[in-house]
Amino acid sequence: MRTPPLPRSEADDPWCLSSDQAADLLERAPWRSFATLGDSLSAGTGDPRPGYGGLGWPERVANVLRRVHPDLAYLNVAEVGATTSRTLRTQMDRLADVEPDLVHVPSGANDLFRADPDFTGIAAALGEVFRRAAATGAQLTVFTLGRAFVVPRFPDWTDRVRRVNDIVRDLAERHGAVLVDMWDHPVNDRPDLLSADGIHFAAPGQAVMAAEVVKGLAHLLDGARGAVDGGVRR
């Protein structure tokens, strides 16, 4: 099967949303304060690419929400290199600065950079992040890690990512988080997806992740409206 050509810009990227499209999807969004916790994935770290805007996915999502609520409070306390335990130590208390009603939580990527990851410990630490973030009353969002994210020095890297993704999926279900599943997203197959470090999604990936977060939030809103409408009809 012939491989489709790479998009030349955001405008012709089938996985991206224009600012108007994104704003239309979230026109009924109730969230007036948005915070992100965690590591470089939560921070939106990635190299620029011609034809794509330079913002990371969190700022892109914040800008969409500002179209709905111009007074949006936004706080990104994510730190490059942060493990889940470091997130618990240094970031959680910052949520009080904006009292967010929408919080993005980490996926445990940096917990995997060990000779022998403690998956029981990872699950416990991530569980505490989810628990404390959800205790604020905020709607949570989270990514699974993409399969394009590979660390060659660990031969079992793919298995590590699968295991931590399973932990994230379970926690997302338990806490009603919007799960943006990037593990097998088609964007993983693009040769220009990763930054020069071979780890972080470059600008095209940032744009796609932002679009997927918006679509996930829109799906949540549609589901809530359907539940209300169903109650009225009964």
Placement of tokens 């505490």 in the chain: 128
> Considering the domain boundaries, does residue 108 fall inside one?
yes
pLDDT tens digits for range 84-113: 999 999 999 999 889 999 999 999 999 999
Helix H or strand E segment including 102: strand 102-104
Residue 196 domain boundaries = 14-226
> Considering the domain boundaries, does residue 104 fall inside one?
yes
DSSP states along 153-173: T-TTHHHHHHHHHHHHHHHHH
Please give the Cα distance from 156 to 179 (Å, whole number). Answer: 24
- As a whole-number percent, the residues of the chain with pLDDT over 90 amount to 90
CATH of the domain at 148: 3.40.50.1110
> Considering the domain boundaries, does residue 231 fall inside one?
no
At 135 the pLDDT is: 96
Residue range 75-80: mean pLDDT, rounded: 97
At 2 the pLDDT is: 56
Is the CB of residue 224 less than 8 Å from the CB of residue 35? no
> Considering the domain boundaries, does residue 191 fall inside one?
yes
Q: What is the mean pLDDT of the chain?
A: 94
At 150 the pLDDT is: 87
> Considering the domain boundaries, does residue 220 fall inside one?
yes
* Beta-sheet pairing, 102-104 with 33-36: parallel
Instruction: Report how many domains make up the chain.
Output: 1
At 77 the pLDDT is: 97
Is the CB of residue 81 less than 8 Å from the CB of residue 39? yes
Residue 1 scores a pLDDT above 50:
no
At 5 the pLDDT is: 81
> Considering the domain boundaries, does residue 232 fall inside one?
no
> Considering the domain boundaries, does residue 159 fall inside one?
yes
> Considering the domain boundaries, does residue 221 fall inside one?
yes
Residue range 62-87: mean pLDDT, rounded: 97
At 234 the pLDDT is: 25
Lowest mean pLDDT, pick from 3-12, 28-37, 165-174:
3-12
pLDDT tens digits for range 123-147: 999 999 999 999 999 999 999 999 9
